[in-house]
Amino acid sequence: HFRCRSAFKLLEIDEKYRLLKPGLSVIDCGAAPGAWSQVAVQRVNSTGERPDLARGCVFGIDLLHIAPLQGAHFLSNRDVTSPATHAELQELLPQAYADVILSDMAPNATGLRELDHERLVCMCLSLLELAEKLLRPGGSLLCKFWDGVLTHKLREGLTRAFQDVKTVKPKASRKESAELYFLARTFRKT
């Protein structure tokens, strides 16, 4: 019942690292078609399906249209890197802060591996600005990247902002793909 098999990557990462808990506020960057948001809705209990547990919230953003999903608030046709999107999120988030930022964003691949890598790293670096504005101290960020020459830059940027940064390769990610995730935990707000 997931909209995309990418859901299994997030499920696998979350099983291991327990990022998503009932009551948390989540921003899902590059959310279309919405499979990660489906996982997040369940895990943070944003529909209130479990009345005994705290109720969280999920905000999904994408350049593309995202079909509605119960428990999620989608901002379709928005650019995650745009300050206007950040301002909109700030208005919507409870107490103006998120506990977790997820990003499975990817640019349209040109097939030029180096170029695609650089573009995705730039997008990930822009998440640090989003975090600076909207992530609660102690919060976490999970972002997809394609490995390459700028990977160390991204790791350095994350390491400045978070206490703990790990590289994660979910089994559900095809072996041949250069796709990896950085899991950055315990945000220190500057």
Contacts with ligand SAM by CB under 6 A lie at: 3-4, 6-7, 30-36, 61-64, 79-81, 104-107, 123
**Choice between 90 and 186, CB closer to ligand SAM:** 90
- CA 145, CA 104: separation in Å to the nearest integer? 8
Q: Pick the catalytic residue: 21, 133, 144, 166?
A: 144
**Choice between 105 and 158, CB closer to ligand SAM:** 105
Q: C-beta of 15: minimal distance to ligand SAM in Å?
A: 16
- CA 67, CA 50: separation in Å to the nearest integer? 24
- CA 123, CA 145: separation in Å to the nearest integer? 9
Q: C-beta of 183: minimal distance to ligand SAM in Å?
A: 15
- CA 36, CA 6: separation in Å to the nearest integer? 7
Q: C-beta of 56: minimal distance to ligand SAM in Å?
A: 18
Number of alpha carbons in the 13 Å side-chain half-sphere of residue 25:
15
Give the β-pairing of 72-75 and 135-146: unpaired
The DSSP secondary structure of 108-165, one letter per residue, reads PP-S-HHHHHHHHHHHHHHHHHHHHHHEEEEEEEEEEEE-STTHHHHHHHHHHHEEEE
**Choice between 47 and 81, CB closer to ligand SAM:** 81
Q: C-beta of 103: minimal distance to ligand SAM in Å?
A: 8
**Choice between 106 and 125, CB closer to ligand SAM:** 106
Q: Is 144 a catalytic residue?
A: yes
By beta carbon distance, the residue nearest ligand SAM is 30
Q: Which residues are catalytic?
A: 144
